[in-house]
């Protein structure tokens, strides 16, 4: 595919690319906003991208597009990385995410972009927020290095001017929730438009409260991309000082009363 030629590392055997677009057939023909979905990965690997991780995010893309409905020209793409490994200082997944934002700008022009990442993809979303087209970041169960692994703290300055939300299950054994809380504290100091929700008794895949997480994601994406008013719990989370706004519990049944 021609657009893959502009991906990072033109000498690589693989290049990043965008998955086929997901959009509502009844939506306006003009693209008003784009969601880039960044799959999970692993800290170190030379293997190709995970088809399973890629497929796991497509239902979220369809859910977000349905929530936008015919009111907004929302398009979602799942990013296909060059490989599944972050690979230390290479930060490959973040580089591929930045390439994807640039590719969106090339295809669709000056449209706002929301980065939505899961696990290692959540880390990539937070890192790639420095692209000018990015207006918001949703990090779902983001994998972050502990103090015993990281050479230096995860950067947060790139989050300035963006709306940022972290969502993490309290029983996640793959990506420790306390690490995302620590990052959220630092991010909140640099950027007041930061909040974090805790999903009690849920793990890395956020399956136990899947419906609530989907509703929370839609509320954030439509609010940050198209200016739809945030639900009361979300508005309260943004406004609350730490630690309240960074340990906001996701209530059971969230989203049932929200507009579709």
In order of their start, the domains of the chain are 2-249 (3.40.50.1820)
Is-contact 127 92, C-beta < 8 A? no
Tokens 């007041």: give the residue: 192
DSSP per-residue string spanning 108-147: H-S--EEEEEETHHHHHHHHGGGSTTEEEEEEES-----T
The single-letter DSSP state of residue 12 is S
pLDDT reported for residue 128: 97
Q: What is the DSSP letter of 154?
A: P
Helix (H), strand (E), coil (C) string for 154-177: CCCHHHCCCEEEEEEECCCCCCCH
Torsion of CA 191, 115, 139, 84, to 10 degrees: -130
pLDDT value at position 134? 98
Which residues pair with residue 77 across a beta bridge?
A: 36
φ, ψ at 77 (rounded to 5°): -130, 135
Please give the pLDDT value at position 14. Answer: 80
What is the full per-residue pLDDT of the chain (260 aa) written as tens digits?
333 334 565 445 589 999 999 998 888 788 999 999 999 999 999 999 999 999 999 999 999 999 998 889 999 999 999 999 999 999 999 999 999 999 999 999 999 999 999 999 999 999 999 999 999 999 999 999 986 665 688 999 999 999 999 999 999 999 999 999 999 999 999 999 999 999 999 999 999 999 999 999 999 999 999 999 999 999 999 999 999 999 999 998 998 755 44
Query: Tell me, what's the pLDDT at 29?
Result: 82
pLDDT value at residue 170? 97
Q: How far is CA 187 from CA 67, 76, 191, 212, in A?
A: 28, 26, 6, 24
Task: Give the tokens for residue 159.
Answer: 């989050």
Backbone angles phi, psi at 237, to 5 degrees: -65, -40
- Residue 203 CA, distance from chain mean position: 17
């Amino acid at each position: 595919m021609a657009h893959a030629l502009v991906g990072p590392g033109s000498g690589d055997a693989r290049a990043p690319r965008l998955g086929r677009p997901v959009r509502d057939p009844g939506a306006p023909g003009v693209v008003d906003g784009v969601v880039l979905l960044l799959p999970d990965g692993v800290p170190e690997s030379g293997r190709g991208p995970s088809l399973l991780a890629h497929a796991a995010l497509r239902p979220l893309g369809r859910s977000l597009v349905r929530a936008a409905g015919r009111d907004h020209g929302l398009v979602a793409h799942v990013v296909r990385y060059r490989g599944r490994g972050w690979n230390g200082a290479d930060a490959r997944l973040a580089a591929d995410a930045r390439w994807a934002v640039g590719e969106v700008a090339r295809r669709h022009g000056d449209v706002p972009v929301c980065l939505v990442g899961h696990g290692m993809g959540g880390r990539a979303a937070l890192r790639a927020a420095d692209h000018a087209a990015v207006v918001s970041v949703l990090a779902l169960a983001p994998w972050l290095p502990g103090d015993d692994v990281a050479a230096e703290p995860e950067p947060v300055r790139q989050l300035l001017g963006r709306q940022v939300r972290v969502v993490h299950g309290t029983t996640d054994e793959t990506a420790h929730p306390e690490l995302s809380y620590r990052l959220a504290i630092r991010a909140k100091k640099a950027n007041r438009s930061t909040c974090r929700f805790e999903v009690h008794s849920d793990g890395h895949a956020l399956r136990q409260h899947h419906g609530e997480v989907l509703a929370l994601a839609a509320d954030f994406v439509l609010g940050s991309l198209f200016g739809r008013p945030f639900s009361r719990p979300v508005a309260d989370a943004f406004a609350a000082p730490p630690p309240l706004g960074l340990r906001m519990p996701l209530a059971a049944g969230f989203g049932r009363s929200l507009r579709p």
